[in-house]
Amino acid sequence: MAATKDVLGTSGVLIASTDPDRLVAWYRAALEPLGAVWQEHMLLVAGGMYVGFDGRDDIEGKPAEPGRHMVNLTVTDIRAAETHLNTLGVTWVRPVEDVGDGVWFSTVTDPDGNFLQFIQVPGEGR
């Protein structure tokens, strides 16, 4: 069977919570100052990706393995993102770190304990 190319496109991620309103408020505070735009029931970020939110009653508390799934966002200035996130009192799982070749990583937790990773790559998102 021949491979089909150009089928996939950019979409997004849906984050489920027992308290989605709390997550919406947190993500808006964290991401809108960095360029995300609230649109009806989701945050739109660069490249057409969205972060959506859903209330669920079939989940509990914090994820048992929060590193299993990470929301990854590229930023053009990770230090500016770090400064902003610090004003929110975020918990850093991985402080901003230069991993070489101009690539920077950092990871914070959202109020439910999910991991949100910020990545700066030379030329990305510019």
Ordered per-residue pLDDT tens for the chain, 126 residues: 566 777 777 789 999 999 999 999 999 999 999 999 999 889 999 878 899 999 988 888 788 888 888 899 999 999 999 999 999 999 999 999 999 999 999 999 999 999 999 999 987 544
Residue 111 and residue 19: Cα distance in Å, rounded? Answer: 10
User: What's the Cα-to-Cα distance from 111 to each of 40, 62, 83, 104, rounded to whole Å?
Assistant: 21, 9, 18, 23
pLDDT of residue 125: 45
Which residue type does 34 have?
A: L
pLDDT of residue 2: 64
The contacts of residue 64 (CB under 8 Å, 6+ apart) are: none
CATH of segment(s) 13-58+69-120: 3.10.180.10
The residues that bridge with 16 in the sheet, in sequence order, are 54
Cα angle: 111, vertex 117, 121; to 5 degrees:
155
pLDDT of residue 124: 52
CB 12 within 8 A of CB 46: no
DSSP string, 37-93: EEETTEEE-GGG-EEEEEE-SS--SS-SSTTSSEEEEE-S-HHHHHHHHHHTTPEEE
